[in-house]
């Protein structure tokens, strides 16, 4: 899909409407690449594609399959002719039952002790756009940098709970512009949010814990999003919290979420890295980072539930600080605790 980005940084109205329609029809995951035509930049990849195909409008879609190459300037026509049930589709990722336990065990052995760059390349070379990077707007930006450097296709998304700090939203836009990539902002279903706020108000987590709010604003949207992917990459590290992440593997079958055809591969390329490793990479490579880190934050989530971390405390100490150390997870990640830890 070729989309036009205005000088303001926003996609053009028709492009946004086309994407919205594809998402509502459950077809967005069939778009394997987004190429931008930047307003005012005739050398942008999107404009070059437009010139190649004699197109002077956006959005448009290039479909390549066994029948050849076709161009659509209408999203409706695309859905009827190219994305309809039974219509030809790109053969890039054939459906399968997902990896077997033996496959994952072999992958774990292969990637044990591997560099993050090798783990990311392993995932993207196998899964391409059906592998998504979960970007939180924090230090996991390193994963996007590694992925972008491979030159391989991938997807990226960010869970937008509606309660992130302004600095985080600005950082997400900065990362999008820096790498020229699409970051899908995943929003929660408004009805459960509305019902939770109606029953308990906006800050119930201070009284009865964060689990219910996180389930509504983060876990449920993540489950729906991951159902379209075969693998995902996270920025988790073992050093972030000894109580909940000390046994974090580099690759595993996701213990909570599933993909479209069964087991979902979950990869944690930064598992063996320390905070020092992450920040060395950020500074050495000139990677954009969230300015909240300069104010003492070391793990960044929703604004009401995150604060700077005192010296000597773990990175996750600034999250839900009013709760027990073993409860410093929002429910997105399970299965990373050592066997002696309190069950999830």
The mean pLDDT value of the chain amounts to: 84
**Residue with token string 């035509």:** 37
The residue that leads in pLDDT, 210 or 240, is 210
Mean pLDDT of 236-247: 78
Instruction: Quote the CA–CA distance of 284 and 298 in Å, as a whole number.
Output: 19
**What local confidence, expressed as pLDDT, does residue 295 receive?**
93
**Residue with token string 């159902």:** 227
Q: In 3D, which of 249, 227, 252 has the Cα closest to residue 101?
A: 252
**What local confidence, expressed as pLDDT, does residue 282 receive?**
95
pTM of the predicted model, to two decimals?
A: 0.66
pLDDT tens per residue across span 186-233: 999 999 999 999 999 999 999 988 889 999 999 999 999 999 999 999
Mean pLDDT of 123-148: 91
Active centre residues (catalytic): 330
CA torsion 324→330→332→335, rounded to 10°?
A: 10
Instruction: Quote the CA–CA distance of 26 and 82 in Å, as a whole number.
Output: 14
Instruction: Quote the CA–CA distance of 24 and 144 in Å, as a whole number.
Output: 27
Instruction: Quote the CA–CA distance of 8 and 29 in Å, as a whole number.
Output: 26
Instruction: Quote the CA–CA distance of 301 and 163 in Å, as a whole number.
Output: 9
Mean pLDDT of 4-23: 81
Phi, psi values for residue 52, rounded to 5°: -60, -35
Phi, psi values for residue 128, rounded to 5°: 55, -130
Instruction: Quote the CA–CA distance of 263 and 256 in Å, as a whole number.
Output: 10
Residues 142, 278 contacting (CB under 8 angstroms)? yes
pLDDT tens per residue across span 258-311: 888 888 999 999 999 998 999 999 999 999 999 999 999 988 999 999 999 888
Instruction: Quote the CA–CA distance of 179 and 145 in Å, as a whole number.
Output: 8
Q: In 3D, which of 30, 35, 75 has the Cα closest to residue 51?
A: 35
How far, CA to CA in Å, does 298 sit from each of 238, 302, 314, 315, 318? 14, 13, 8, 5, 7
**What local confidence, expressed as pLDDT, does residue 326 receive?**
58
pLDDT tens per residue across span 80-135: 887 764 443 333 444 455 677 788 888 888 888 899 999 999 999 999 999 999 99
How open is the CA angle 13-18-19, to the nearest 5 degrees? 100
149-153, 165-169, 213-217, 328-332: lowest mean pLDDT where? 328-332
**What local confidence, expressed as pLDDT, does residue 2 receive?**
92
């Amino acid at each position: 899909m070729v989309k036009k980005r205005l000088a303001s940084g926003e996609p053009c109205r028709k492009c946004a409407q086309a994407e919205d329609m594809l998402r509502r029809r459950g077809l967005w995951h069939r778009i394997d690449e987004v190429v931008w035509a930047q307003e005012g930049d005739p050398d942008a990849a999107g404009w070059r594609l437009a010139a190649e195909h004699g197109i002077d409008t956006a959005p448009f879609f290039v479909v390549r399959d066994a029948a050849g190459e076709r161009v659509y300037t209408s999203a409706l026509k695309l859905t009827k002719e190219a994305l309809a049930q039974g219509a030809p589709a790109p053969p890039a990722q054939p459906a399968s039952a997902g990896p077997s336990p033996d496959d994952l065990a072999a992958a774990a052995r292969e990637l044990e002790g591997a560099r993050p760059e090798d783990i990311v390349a392993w995932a993207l070379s196998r899964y391409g756009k059906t592998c998504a990077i979960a970007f939180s707007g924090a230090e996991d930006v390193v994963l996007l940098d590694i992925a972008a450097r491979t030159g391989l296709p991938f997807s990226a998304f960010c869970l937008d709970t509606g309660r992130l700090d302004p600095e985080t939203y600005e950082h997400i836009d900065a990362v999008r512009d820096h790498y020229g990539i699409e970051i899908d902002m995943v929003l929660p279903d408004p009805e459960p949010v509305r019902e939770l706020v109606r029953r308990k108000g906006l800050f119930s987590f201070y009284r009865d814990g964060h689990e219910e709010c996180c389930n509504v604003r983060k876990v449920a949207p993540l489950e729906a999003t991951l159902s379209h992917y075969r693998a995902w990459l996270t920025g988790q590290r073992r050093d972030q919290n000894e109580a909940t992440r000390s046994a974090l593997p580099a690759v595993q079958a996701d213990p909570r979420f599933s993909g479209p055809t069964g087991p979902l591969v979950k990869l944690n390329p930064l598992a063996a890295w320390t905070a020092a490793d992450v920040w060395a990479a950020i500074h050495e490579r000139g990677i954009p980072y969230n300015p909240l880190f300069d104010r003492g934050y070391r793990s960044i989530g929703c604004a009401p539930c995150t604060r700077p971390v005192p010296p000597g405390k773990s990175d996750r100490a600034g999250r839900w600080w009013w709760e027990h150390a073993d409860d410093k997870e929002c429910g997105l990640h399970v299965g990373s605790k050592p066997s002696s830890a309190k069950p999830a």
